[in-house]
A and B are shown apart, each in its own frame.
Chain A
Amino acid sequence: MFDLRRFDRSTSVFVGLLVISFLLATFDVRAQGEGLGGNLRSGVQSLFTPMQRFAGLLMSPIVGSVDAVSDLAGLREDNELLQSRVRDLEEELADTATLRQQVAELEAVLGLEPPGELNSITARVIAAGASEFDFVRKIDVGSADGVLKGMPVIDEDGLVGRVVLVTDSNALVRLITDPSLSVGVRVKETNETGVVEGQGTGELRVEMFGAVDPLEAGYRLETAGSRFPPGIPVGVISESATAEAGFQLIARADPAIRVSKLDFVRVIIDFDPLELDPDLEEESAELSGVPPTEQESQTP
C-alpha cells in the first residue's frame, strides 16, 4: 500500500515543482511562445541583456586572441582561395552585366516595378541559448528598432534564421540549424522546390517532393519565398542524391552561413510574413509544390 507519510517535505516540493514544470511546458508549447511563457521570457530577456552585454565585453579580447591564432594558421590557404575567387568573380561580373541588361529590358517590356532592395538593419549577436540543445542567438535590436516576430535574419553568406521573440531592445533569432525550423527552398540549378530542416549540428536535411532531377553536389539552395523573401542563399548540396521510387528525394546540404562566426547579422525589417494572407500562402505553396511547412513546430 502506498504510504504518503513516506514522503518528506523536500520530496513533496520536488513532485510539486515537477508538476508545475510539466504544466508550464505544455502550456508554452500550446501557446507557441505567447501568453505567460512569452511574457516571462520577455522580462527575463530584458533583465539579462545588460549582464550579457557586459560579459560580451569581457570576453571579446579572449575571442579576438583565439581568432588571431586560428586566422594565422589558415592565412596562406585563405589567400590562395581568395585569389581564385577573385578570378571567378571577374568572369561572373562580365556575365552579370549582360544579364542585368536583359532583365532591365524584360522589366520594361512587362511593365514590372523593380522589386528594389529590402530594408534591413544591422544587429550584433550578444548571446546564445544557455544549453547545448538551444539553437538561438540574441541580437541587440528590438521592437524599438522596428523588429517584429517572424522577420528573416541574414548575414553576408545567406539566411541565418527567423526572429522568434522581440523585446524593446533585443530579439531572439532561431537559427536555420535548429531541428524545429523548416524553410521552403528552391534549387537554383533545377528550379525545383523542397524543404530544408536543421539538424542541430552541421548539415541541413533537404527534402524534395516529386523531384524529377537528381540533386548534384554543389547545387545551390535559396529561399523559395512565402515566409522568407525569395532568393536568399540557404545552403549547398554536399553530396549527390537521386529520388527514391521517383517521388521523394532526401539529401544533405551545408548551410550557407557559418554558425560559429555569427557576430553581425541583418534583420530584414520591411518583410513581415505575418501580414501574408494565410489562404493565399497555402494556395501558392500547393501550387509550387512546397508544403506550408515554413513554420516552427516549436516556438518560444
Chain B
Amino acid sequence: MSGRHIAIAIALVVVAVVVQSTLLAESRLQLFGSAPALVVLVLIAVVRYLDPEPAVLLGFTAGLLVDLVGGQPVGLWAMVMTVVAYVTLRVRDRAADGPLVIGVGVLVLTLMAGGLFVILGTLFGLKPLSDPAVFRRLILPAIYNVVLAIGVVPGVTKLLEQRRPRRGWA
C-alpha cells in the first residue's frame, strides 16, 4: 500500500466531511428531514481497500474531523468511526462479496454508528434521546446510505481497486 493510496483515502474522507457539513446539511435538500451519513459510507467503502492499521487510523481521523468540524465533544465520533472501521475490517475477510452483502453491511454499519453515537452522547450528557425524532435520525440515514452506496462504492472501487486487490465482501 503506497502513500498515494493513503492520501487518496484521506482526501475522500475530507471531501465527505465537507459535503456532509454543507450540501447534505442543507435542510431544504433533505428528504424527510434527514441526510445520508456520507462520512460513514465513504469510510466503509475506503476501509475495504486499506491495510488493517491504516484503516483503523483512518476511522479515527474521520471521526475526529466530524467532531472538530461540528460542535460536539472531541472524541465521540472518533470513537464511533474507529469502531466502524474496525468492524468493517473484521467483516471484509469473513463475508462473501456481492451487492447484497455490501448493501446489508452498509445498512447495519450505519445503524450501528448512529446507535453507538446515541449511547455515547447520552453518557457524555448530550441528551440525544430527548429528540422525538431520534429513531428517524438513525434509520433514514442508514437507508439513504444503502441507496447512495450504489454510486459511492463503485466510485471508490474505481479509485482504489487498481492499487490493491479486493478481499472478502469488499
Interface contact tally, CB-CB below 8 A: 205
Check B95 for interface membership: any CB of A closer than 8 A.
no
Q: When the two chains form the complex, which single residue of B23, B74, B132 contacts A201, counting CB atoms closer than 8 Å?
A: B132
The answer to whether A179 and B127 have CB atoms under 8 Å apart is: yes
When distances are taken between beta carbons in the complex, the residues of chain A under 8 Å from B114 are 132
Q: When the two chains form the complex, which single residue of A9, A21, A164, A203 contacts B71, counting CB atoms closer than 8 Å?
A: A164
Q: Considering the chains assembled together, what is the distance between the CA atoms of A59 and B19 in angstroms? A: 10
Check B57 for interface membership: any CB of A closer than 8 A.
yes
Q: Considering the chains assembled together, what is the distance between the CA atoms of A108 and B126 in angstroms? A: 48
Check B118 for interface membership: any CB of A closer than 8 A.
yes
Q: When the two chains form the complex, which single residue of A10, A55, A134, A174 contacts B19, counting CB atoms closer than 8 Å?
A: A55
Pick the interface stretch among B31-39, B98-106, B150-158, B161-169: B31-39
Label chain B's interface by main secondary structure: helix
When distances are taken between beta carbons in the complex, the residues of chain B under 8 Å from A20 are 60, 75, 78
Instruction: Give the nearest-CB partner of B63 in chain A.
Output: A21
A221 to chain B, nearest CB (A): 18
B144 to chain A, nearest CB (A): 11
Check B147 for interface membership: any CB of A closer than 8 A.
no
When distances are taken between beta carbons in the complex, the residues of chain A under 8 Å from B121 are 133
Q: When the two chains form the complex, which single residue of A8, A17, A40, A67 contacts B52, counting CB atoms closer than 8 Å?
A: A8
Check A23 for interface membership: any CB of B closer than 8 A.
yes
Q: When the two chains form the complex, which single residue of A21, A126, A134, A179 contacts B82, counting CB atoms closer than 8 Å?
A: A21
The answer to whether A44 and B68 have CB atoms under 8 Å apart is: yes
Q: Which of A21, A40, A259 has the most CB of B within 10 A?
A: A21
The answer to whether A133 and B21 have CB atoms under 8 Å apart is: no
Check A100 for interface membership: any CB of B closer than 8 A.
no
Q: How many A residues touch the partner, as a band? A: 35 or more
Check B149 for interface membership: any CB of A closer than 8 A.
no
The answer to whether B33 and A29 have CB atoms under 8 Å apart is: no
User: What 1/0 mask marks residues of chain A from 38 to 50 whose CB sits below 8 Å from any chain B CB?
Assistant: 0011011100100
The answer to whether A44 and B60 have CB atoms under 8 Å apart is: no
The answer to whether B133 and A67 have CB atoms under 8 Å apart is: no
Q: Considering the chains assembled together, what is the distance between the CA atoms of A202 and B33 in angstroms? A: 10
The answer to whether A21 and B27 have CB atoms under 8 Å apart is: no
Label chain A's interface by main secondary structure: helix
When distances are taken between beta carbons in the complex, the residues of chain A under 8 Å from B69 are 44-45, 48, 127, 129-130
Check A217 for interface membership: any CB of B closer than 8 A.
no
User: What 1/0 mask marks residues of chain B from 36 to 52 whose CB sits below 8 Å from any chain A CB?
Assistant: 01010000000000001
Check B107 for interface membership: any CB of A closer than 8 A.
no
When distances are taken between beta carbons in the complex, the residues of chain A under 8 Å from B120 are 25
Instruction: Give the nearest-CB partner of B55 in chain A.
Output: A10
When distances are taken between beta carbons in the complex, the residues of chain A under 8 Å from B117 are 131, 133
The answer to whether B71 and A201 have CB atoms under 8 Å apart is: no
Check B9 for interface membership: any CB of A closer than 8 A.
no
| Given A37-B74, A55-B22; 15 other pairs, CB 8 A cutoff | A10-B86, A13-B57, A20-B78, A24-B74, A48-B21, A59-B29, A129-B72, A132-B37, A133-B121, A179-B131, A180-B126, A199-B130, A199-B132, A200-B128, A300-B73
Binding site for A on B (CB under 8 A): 14, 17-23, 25-29, 33-35, 37, 39, 52-53, 55-57, 59-60, 63, 65-79, 82-83, 86, 89, 114, 117-118, 120-121, 124-128, 130-134, 136-137, 141
Binding site for B on A (CB under 8 A): 8-11, 13-14, 17-18, 20-26, 28-29, 36-37, 40-41, 43-45, 48, 51-52, 55-56, 58-59, 62-63, 66-67, 70, 126-136, 138, 164-165, 172, 174, 179-180, 197, 199-203, 205, 259-261, 297-298, 300
